[in-house]
Amino acid sequence: MVFDLSSGVPEEEKAQLLVAPRKRSFDQLVSAIEETGKDKDAKAIFVRFGSASLGMARAEEIGALLEVARKAQKPVVCHADGFTNSTMLAAARGCSKLYVSPAGEVETIGIAAQIVYMRKLLVDDLKISVDMLQVGKFKGAEEPLTRDGPSDEARASLESTLADMRGSWLQGIRQGRPSLANADVIEDGPYAPPRAKELGLVDEVGYADDALTELKKSAAAPREDVRFGAGAQDKPDDLGDLVRALSGGGRAPIALVRATGSISMAGGGGLFGGRGGITEHDLSRTLAKVERDPDIKVLVLRIDSPGGSALASDLIWHDLMRIRKKKPIVVSVGEMAASGGYYLASTGSVIFADAGSIVGSIGVVGGKLAVGPALERYGVHTETFTGKGRDPKAANRAAYMSALVPWDDPTKVRVRETMTGIYDLFLARLSEGRSTEGRTLSVQKIAESAEGRIFSGREGKARGLVDELGGLKDAISRARKLASLPEDAGVHVMGAKGSFLDALDPTMGDAEERAAALEHARPGALDALEDAAPDVVPFAASLLPLAEGERTVLAVPFALVVR
């Protein structure tokens, strides 16, 4: 069985212009590996990593799933053109044998995060007024725009989280390759393939096709079957599933809803139309279907979000809490459930996160960039007129969301008041969401982990922000137990993005659903940015609601890319 991860494993597949992608999303990979581990005809597993760079949390779960298959006496051979920190974590834990391409590298280089600070460029050089406020001394979402380096609080929060992530990363690699007891060896890359083999990081140096041929021979496997990635085909019984659905056979009793990306109200509108992510408009429609469908007995909510709009987060929170009164909700955290993302996660009857996940960032940020002072340098003057005549206070207040004029001090005071109110609401919502039968988490207890601090999944569990360490597979397993379902109860993915052809299909649903599919199929402004500078996307996406008229956001402190 072949799993081709060389194109990455996103939480959600990207919609294509003419066809919807197949066998590309993380939940599909989890299901495929689990099925293969139970398949008596599967003699061996071959994983092709290519040059992909996975998120730490997803890599951790992939490694754990492959480890289960390997312990079931199935050889698991993995090949990479070049190993990264994350793919090495998955491969070391889950694979019986590791190959790397002759011209590749093994880039096990340790855990770090990098932040870009732009205050000097924006304020000193371009003369742009940066008006940004925060609630929570560790929050720091505005620091890339307002400082030339990190505050002590932001540094402490980040370094603590990275230290814990490093520990779990080293532990995972050593678990699969106990000979690598020396952390210095693991972290001292990049290594050329021969040196990596000498140190025991990999077993062989060779090409992917040679590794596959050797595996087929040693396992006496007559052919390969691609289960994920390029070349994967639909299962033979897909047609039967379709016929049963059309004949009224009902949905699977477990609904999987994916909440991926930044959080906004409507999405697809304004300057950054078509950027996707989590929109209150779309997700609320999906959740309403989950709530109304009597065949759905439990909801699994998969979250990978840096946060976003405070208003949208609260409205979606309300929808989820209404569902929880009727059906259990099991939350599975991907790479992060931060700020607004954790706002949604708090509704779970139980929250699962991997050790390498990011949770927390409970705080509020709000503000704007005012380009008026910069334009004045080039002879472009802005004048604000009010109904109170030449009253500076009235002018500043009436134009406080204008991108042309900075905030005055009274306006900053008023904005901070509203942000403090949202912060207090944030804490109250989390307390309510995390308090269930047999468990109470007070506002005071939540506040101890607030102020904008971020935590690894393991730290989050110690603080009560997370209930269990585990991935999507574990979350689905718990969902079956909570709903008293059999172990083979099916999972239905709700709200999957369609293709352009889906939007034209009159059988798809109502006109609004077809329009949504068309919007998802249309490339957005952030798609081009993701191709050119993917590391910038989490930061840009989480703050975009400010550019689209939102006053405050619940956003992860910075563009956090863990290598």
Please report the DSSP string for 226-281 in residue order: EEESTT----TTHHHHHHHHHTT----SEEEEEEES-EESS-S-GGGTT--SEEHH
What is the radius of gyration, based on Cα positions, of the chain? 25
Determine contact, residues 65/34, Cβ cutoff 8 Å.
yes
Superfamily holding 251-362+436-499+538-555:
2-enoyl-CoA Hydratase; Chain A, domain 1 (3.90.226.10)
pTM more than 0.85: no
CA dist 167 and 181 (Å) reads 13
At position 502, the amino acid (one-letter code) is: D
Strands 307-309 and 552-555: antiparallel
Question: In the chain, which residues fall in CATH 3.40.1750.10?
Answer: 119-160+367-414
Fold of 119-160+367-414: peptide peptidase (sppa) fold (3.40.1750)
CA dist 90 and 33 (Å) reads 13
From first to last of its 563 residues, the chain has per-residue pLDDT tens of 999 998 889 887 765 544 445 557 899 999 899 888 888 889 999 999 988 888 899 999 999 999 998 888 889 999 998 899 999 999 999 999 999 998 788 989 888 887 778 889 899 988 898 888 888 888 877 888 899 888 999 888 888 998 898 899 999 999 999 988 888 889 888 898 999 999 999 999 998 989 999 999 999 998 899 999 877 765 544 444 443 444 344 568 999 999 998 898 865 444 333 446 898 888 998 999 999 999 999 999 999 999 988 888 998 999 999 999 999 999 999 999 999 999 999 999 999 999 999 999 999 988 888 888 888 888 777 777 767 677 788 788 878 878 888 888 888 888 888 888 889 999 999 999 999 877 888 999 999 999 999 999 999 999 999 999 999 999 999 999 999 999 989 999 987 554 444 444 444 444 444 444 444 444 455 555 555 566 666 666 666 666 665 667 777 766 666 66
Question: In the chain, which residues fall in CATH 3.90.226.10?
Answer: 2-110+165-228, 251-362+436-499+538-555
Q: In whole angstroms, what separates CA 227 from the centre of its chain?
A: 24
Strands 358-360 and 454-456: antiparallel
CA dist 499 and 515 (Å) reads 11
pLDDT of residue 561: 64
Phi, psi of 415 (to 5 degrees): -65, -40
CA dist 499 and 112 (Å) reads 37
Q: Which residues pair with 165 in a beta bridge?
A: none
Determine contact, residues 556/378, Cβ cutoff 8 Å.
no
pLDDT of residue 19: 46
Q: Which residues pair with 100 in a beta bridge?
A: 80, 205
CA dist 412 and 400 (Å) reads 9
Please say whether the dihedral angle defined by the alpha carbons of residues 471, 475, 477 and 481, taken in this order, is positive or negative.
Answer: positive
pLDDT of residue 201: 95
Tokens of 57: 């949390």
Strands 491-494 and 278-279: unpaired
What class does CATH assign to 2-110+165-228?
alpha beta
Element (H, E) at 207: none
Phi, psi of 71 (to 5 degrees): -70, -15
pLDDT of residue 445: 94
* Residue 190: cis peptide before it, omega within 30 degrees of 0: yes
CA dist 353 and 456 (Å) reads 9
How many degrees, rounded to 5, is the angle at CA 481 between CA 478 and CA 484? 150
Closest CA to 364 of 539, 548, 143, 135: 135
Three-state DSSP class for residue 68: helix
- Contacts of 206-214 with CB under 8 Å at 24 or more apart are 206/79, 206/99, 206/101, 206/102, 207/101, 207/102, 208/48, 208/79, 208/81, 208/99, 208/101, 211/46, 211/77, 211/79, 211/99, 212/2, 212/46, 212/77, 212/79
At position 5, the amino acid (one-letter code) is: L
Q: In whole angstroms, what separates CA 402 from the centre of its chain?
A: 32
Question: Among all chains, which residue has been given the structure tokens 């569902």?
Answer: 323
Closest CA to 279 of 302, 258, 254: 258
Three-state DSSP class for residue 24: coil
Strands 329-338 and 298-305: parallel
